[in-house]
Structure 1
Amino acid sequence: MSEPPRSPLGPAGNNLRRNIRRLREQRRWSYRDVEERLAQAGRAIPVLELSAIDTGERRVDVDDLVALAAVFDLGVEELLLPPADCVTCHGAPPIGFMCMECGTSGLPTA
């Protein structure tokens, strides 16, 4: 049986994976470090799955999101928003453009 087609990550999903990578790298944590911290928080995510989150190959469910926020000592919303600390766009590139530094898209507001 084949898997149903998976929809691509949207802006929040991409912000999440980029923020996780950025925070992990800023803290000089390996995937193993994150895996251990998540296990201590009661939500184990194996190293290979963390790597897949990093590349956008694995989606994050709500329980993963809450555990990741706890591990990084942030609110859930902080993981979903564009990174305001990007020195290039400050989380808000012009509408229609994508920041080449952090990957945030300047989407029009409806």
Structure 2
Amino acid sequence: MRPELRNPPGPAARNARRNIQRLREERRFSYAELSDRLTLAGHPISGYLLGRLEAGERRVDVDDLAAIAGVLGVTPGELLEPPAECDNCHGDPPEGFICARCGTTPVATIG
């Protein structure tokens, strides 16, 4: 049983961890390889912490997000977007629902 986080991840953090995992796997990077690339980029994160991040057991901060995005060749904003590749909801489930397949929640609208 994993311990509860004091400040659990919200929808953007869940999107980021899913996108980081998807992109890391698409590029066939192990945790160790992504860690090495982050270290070369000047922002070391251990493979262990990357695994915890993808498992939702560690929050990603803005500096981590920027460094990981740079190493994966995307923008930080792209890491925050819902997973549009989901065949079920296409990253946009109906208001009030959570996609059973990818776990995406609707993006709150302001105003």
Q: Report if TM-score (shorter chain) is over 0.5.
A: yes
In the TM superposition, residue 107 of structure 1 has moved relative to its aligned partner by: 4.8
Q: What's the CA shift string for 1:24-66, capped at 9, x where partnerless?
A: 1222211111101111111010011001101111111111111
Asked whether the equivalents of residues 35 and 46 of structure 1 are also in contact (C-alpha less than 8 Å), the reply is: yes
Does residue 36 (structure 1) correspond to residue 36 (structure 2)? The answer is: yes
Q: Is the contact made by 1:96 and 1:107 (CA closer than 8 Å) also made in structure 2?
A: no
Q: Distance in 1 between matches of 2:23 and 2:101?
A: 15
Instruction: Measure the CA separation in 2 of the matches of 1:75 and 1:34.
Output: 16
RMSD of aligned residue pairs (Cα, Å)? 1.5
Relative to structure 2, which stretch is displaced further, 49-58 or 79-88?
A: 79-88
Mapping for residues 5-20 of structure 1, pairs under 5 Å: 6-20=6-20
- Amino acid corresponding to residue 79 of structure 1 in structure 2: L
CA 1:72/1:6 → structure 2, altered by over 3 Å: closer, same or farther? same
TM-score (normalizing by structure 1): 0.87
Give the aligned partner of residue 47 of structure 1: 47
Structure 2 length-normalised TM? 0.86
Deviation of the 1:102 alpha carbon:
2.0
Percent sequence identity over matched residues?
A: 53
| Alpha-carbon separation, structure 2, partners of 1:85 and 1:35 | 26
Conserved 8 A contact 1:96-1:108: no
Q: Give the aligned partner of residue 80 of structure 2.
A: 80
- Tell me how far 1:76 sits from its aligned partner: 0.8
Q: Distance in 2 between matches of 1:11 and 1:42?
A: 28
Give the secondary structure class of the aligned counterpart of 1:68: helix
Cα distance, 1:106 vs. partner? Answer: 2.4
Partner of 2:63: 63
Query: Structure 2, unaligned stretches of length 5 or more?
Result: none
The alignment covers a number of residue pairs equal to 106
| DSSP-derived class of the 2:58 partner | coil
Structure 1, unmatched stretches of 5+, are none
Deviating runs (4+, > 4 A) in structure 1?
Answer: none
